[in-house]
């Protein structure tokens, strides 16, 4: 969470009310370790030492040598997979810098009701994102949206500067070429389809919504692999990986 002043190691900082609210949503207990970014763009690690009303005091103990967030606002639109794959995708997407993760139903994806029959797990998704954010020292915890349909997922990406959908049947454009033909954007969305692939009608819907259609190569990747590879390539070209 960005702070409006500079600070140094071994000092305590007092968070503003807005920062206090963000901290409370994520990990605002005394003793919690948090990542903070000051006015110069430098990131630090700190320990919450006191919480009183709207005031939170954090002891700064480690400098990270630069921002921990890539600066690219990145949305993952993910067709809902079965089994434990959504949980894995949330964890890895958080590590790879996604700011919003939107699960959606498509023609060939599993339905949430079917997925939840044996054991309800969707309610745990925000907690998984929080735990992954802590593990990789992110300052922001990704938003995990409610499951929606394709149109609803596209609406999340409406304001993104660049929108890309990966599709195994695309023959002319690979993801690497798609990324390199665009100027570096401030925001981007990546859409990954289900195990059974996206239908032609869905691809047309995406094209009409301004999505670039690209492939990840000739090998058929599982949906969770496609999500990780796609996010990694986006962050390599436009973010802070590498």
Q: Are 193 and 223 within 8 A, CB to CB?
A: yes
For residue 72, pLDDT over 60 is answered with yes
Q: What is the pLDDT of residue 2?
A: 45
Q: Which two tokens stand for residue 103?
A: 């699960």
* Amino acid 19: pLDDT: 61
Query: Per-residue confidence at 166, pLDDT binned at 50, 70, 90?
Result: very high
pLDDT digits (tens, 9 = 90+) for 39-71: 788 888 989 888 877 678 889 999 887 888 899
SS (H, E, C) 124-136: HHHHHHHHHHHHC
> What are the structural domains, with CATH classification, of the chain?
12-63 (2.40.10.330), 73-238 (3.40.1280.10)
**What was the pLDDT predicted at 18?**
59
Q: Is the pLDDT of residue 1 over 50?
A: no
Tally the C-alpha atoms within 13 A of residue 5's C-alpha that lie toward its C-beta.
9
Q: What's the whole-number mean pLDDT along residues 10-17?
A: 79
Distance from C-alpha of 189 to C-alpha of 208, rounded to nearest angstrom: 15
Question: Who has greater pLDDT, 142 or 16?
Answer: 142
Give the residue with greater pLDDT, 18 vs 235. 235
Place of tokens 């079917």: 114
**What is the Cα–Cα distance from 44 to 236, expressed in whole angstroms?**
23
């Amino acid at each position: 969470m960005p702070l409006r002043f500079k600070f140094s190691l071994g000092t305590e900082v007092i968070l503003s009310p807005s920062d206090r609210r963000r901290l409370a949503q994520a990990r605002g207990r005394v003793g919690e370790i948090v990542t903070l970014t000051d006015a110069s763009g430098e990131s630090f690690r700190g320990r919450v030492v006191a919480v009183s009303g709207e005031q939170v005091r954090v002891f700064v103990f480690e400098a990270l040598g630069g921002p921990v967030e890539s600066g690219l606002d990145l949305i993952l639109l993910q067709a809902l997979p079965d089994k434990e794959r959504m949980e894995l995708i949330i964890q890895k997407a958080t590590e790879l810098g996604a700011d919003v993760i939107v699960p959606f139903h498509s023609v060939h994806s599993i339905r949430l009701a079917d997925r939840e029959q044996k054991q309800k797990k969707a309610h745990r998704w925000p907690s998984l994102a929080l735990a992954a954010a802590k593990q990789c020292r992110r300052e922001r915890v990704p938003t995990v949206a409610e499951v929606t349909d394709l149109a609803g997922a596209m609406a999340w990406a409406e304001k993104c500067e660049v929108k890309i959908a990966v599709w195994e049947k695309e023959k002319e454009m690979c993801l690497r070429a798609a990324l390199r033909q665009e100027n570096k954007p401030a925001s981007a969305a990546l859409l990954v389809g289900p195990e059974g692939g996206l239908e032609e009608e869905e691809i047309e819907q995406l094209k009409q919504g301004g999505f670039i259609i690209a492939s990840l190569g000739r090998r058929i990747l599982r949906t969770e692999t496609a999500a990780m590879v796609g996010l990694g390539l986006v962050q390599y070209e436009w973010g802070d990986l590498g």
